[in-house]
Amino acid sequence: MDARQEKGLQIAATTKLVGEDNMWLVPSQAGKGKYVVDAYAKQCTCPDFEARQATCKHIFAVEYTIRREYTDDGETQTVTQTVTVKKTYKQEWPAYNAAQVNEKDQFQKLLHDLCKGIGEPSQKMGRPRLPFDDIIFSACFKVYSTVSGRRFMSDLRDAKAKGHISQLPCYNSIFNYFEDEALTPYLQMLIEESSLPLTAIESDFAVDSSGFSTCRFVQWVQAKHHNPKLLEARDWVKVHLICGVKTNVVTAVEISDRFAGDSPFFKGLVDTTAQNFVMQEVSADKAYLSAANLQTVVDHKAMPYIPFKINSAAQYGQGKGKRQTEDKKGKWKRKSALWRQMYHYYEYNQSWFMQQYHKRSNVETTFHMIKSKFGDSLRSKTKTAQSKTKTAQINEALCKVLCHNICCLIQSMFELNIKPEFWATEVL
């Protein structure tokens, strides 16, 4: 048994792992959030796997857990490993099981609580429709359920019986609601609102982007890095998000077309998050490196962890002449000083920098959670105009993010004893 196997066994013995089918969440041993392990593909989102492309301790931990669960009664169990783990650990499963068993009910309750706070936008003339909160509830619940028409309608009738919606929409009209651009800002607002119960938990954040396509067989990473033709050939929606590294909750999101650069979205995401959270760290990959982005994080009294490119030393200007021309712009002087400061700081504290920077992998975990649970493709079939199809795709992508956030809250209710309440200041 090698060191990774041994550590995997320790993790399996001491931690309750959350997972279903092939997707498992394994907490980082250094307390830096969670990694996603794909049990079938034997892949992990941790830096160790990324570097070696070989079985890491998290994959071993999942394998031990799966093996063990087949002989488990699902309630309480005792794991004794005399060879490597000399202690006997007693593990409590009820909390995790309760989260899974009750997820659908909890999901509807939380979604309803969120929707009832949004109010009614001014009705457009002529087109009678359902109350706005019913529309958003139905659209999100459809994305969450991932089941086909008839089964979803019985879920929706159930939701009406429980009082989560006031009227039952017909199945086809749910898809028409996705085409309504009025939905987009409300979905973004709900994503933000749904992150607020975790303000006391999250202080470190990570930023990244990923694409959702209309074709389920084309994957973003494949298209972006290996086959740019796929970017041209398919419809894509690019989701830019920032998430908390402990619970993977998304605190702000922006949508763009497929070719938009990542860096310009950084400031908006960080600023929105700073309105609700006390930020300590923000990490992002080198695509986000700019003096302005570093400054944005520092302005919020947080520490940026964005790696410098190999040629960064030259970029900040070694010749005095170059720096002086920048100084003429006034603002550049300050940015340039921060840039230099950061560059040297990272250079002299590299191993420490890497430790903190590894929290960034949690944003990849977040995308992985969203895509594996709610699908990485978007519906493309609509008989209407191109612009409406695009709106429908944007809204569907936002619904996936909102569904993810609600699931993060449910997990936090059971793991961290959080009691989510929304619209705190609005309700008297």
Comparing CB distances to Zn ion, the nearer of 56 and 297 is 56
Comparing CB distances to Zn ion, the nearer of 37 and 392 is 37
Q: Which of 58, 112, 358, 359 binds Zn ion (CB under 5 A)?
A: 58
Q: Which stretch binds Zn ion (CB under 5 A): 38-46, 85-93, 290-298, 314-322?
A: 38-46
- Asked if 148 and 203 count as a contact pair (C-beta separation under 8 A), the reply is no
Cα→Cα distances 394→177, 343, 403, Å: 12, 37, 14
Q: Which of 17, 18, 23, 56 binds Zn ion (CB under 5 A)?
A: 56
Comparing CB distances to Zn ion, the nearer of 194 and 248 is 248
Comparing CB distances to Zn ion, the nearer of 49 and 178 is 49
Q: Which stretch binds Zn ion (CB under 5 A): 58-66, 136-144, 199-207, 260-268?
A: 58-66
Residue 41 C-beta: closest distance to Zn ion, Å: 13
Comparing CB distances to Zn ion, the nearer of 49 and 177 is 49
Residue 283 C-beta: closest distance to Zn ion, Å: 18
Cα separation, 141 vs 159, whole angstroms: 9
Strand partners for 89: 79
- Amino acid in the structure at residue 176: N
Cα separation, 89 vs 91, whole angstroms: 6
Comparing CB distances to Zn ion, the nearer of 46 and 99 is 46
Binders of Zn ion in range 87-116 (CB under 5 A): none
Comparing CB distances to Zn ion, the nearer of 336 and 365 is 365
Comparing CB distances to Zn ion, the nearer of 58 and 164 is 58
Interaction between residue 32 and Zn ion (CB under 5 A): no
Q: Which stretch binds Zn ion (CB under 5 A): 48-56, 192-200, 306-314, 409-417?
A: 48-56
Residue 341 C-beta: closest distance to Zn ion, Å: 33
Residue 374 C-beta: closest distance to Zn ion, Å: 23
Interaction between residue 44 and Zn ion (CB under 5 A): yes
Residue 61 C-beta: closest distance to Zn ion, Å: 9
CB atoms within 10 A of CB 215: 16
Q: Which stretch binds Zn ion (CB under 5 A): 14-22, 41-49, 145-153, 183-191?
A: 41-49
Interaction between residue 49 and Zn ion (CB under 5 A): yes
Structure tokens at 408: 């993060």
Size of the site for Zn ion (CB under 5 A): 5
Quick one: three-class SS letters along the chain? Answer: CCHHHHHHHHHHHHCCCEEECCEEEEECCCCCCEEEEECCCCEECCHHHHHHCCCCHHHHHHHHHHHHHCCCCCCEEEEECCCCCCCEEEEECHHHHHHHHCHHHHHHHHHHHHHCCCCCCCCCCCCCCCCHHHHHHHHHHHHHHCCCHHHHHHHHHHHHHCCCCCCCCCHHHHHHHHCCCCHHHHHHHHHHHHHHHHCCCCCEEEEEEEEEECCCCCCHHHHHHCCHHHHHHCCEEEEEEEEECCCCCEEEEEEECCCCCCHHHHHHHHHHHHHHCCCCEEEECHHHCCHHHHHHHHHCCCEEECCCCCCHHHHCCCCHHHHHHHHCCCHHHHHHHHHHHHHHHHHHCHHHHHHHHHHHHHHHHHHHHHHHHHCCECCCCCCCCHHHHHHHHHHHHHHHHHHHHHHHHHHHHHHCCCCCCCCCCCCC
Q: Which stretch binds Zn ion (CB under 5 A): 56-64, 74-82, 88-96, 193-201?
A: 56-64
Q: Which of 17, 46, 136, 408 binds Zn ion (CB under 5 A)?
A: 46
Residue 11 C-beta: closest distance to Zn ion, Å: 10
Q: Which stretch binds Zn ion (CB under 5 A): 44-52, 156-164, 252-260, 415-423?
A: 44-52
Comparing CB distances to Zn ion, the nearer of 62 and 136 is 62
Comparing CB distances to Zn ion, the nearer of 37 and 140 is 37
Residue 8 C-beta: closest distance to Zn ion, Å: 9
- Asked if 227 and 341 count as a contact pair (C-beta separation under 8 A), the reply is no
Interaction between residue 223 and Zn ion (CB under 5 A): no
Cα separation, 5 vs 11, whole angstroms: 10
Residue 360 C-beta: closest distance to Zn ion, Å: 15
Comparing CB distances to Zn ion, the nearer of 34 and 371 is 34
Q: Which stretch binds Zn ion (CB under 5 A): 54-62, 111-119, 178-186, 206-214?
A: 54-62
Residues near Zn ion (CB under 5 A): 44, 46, 49, 56, 58
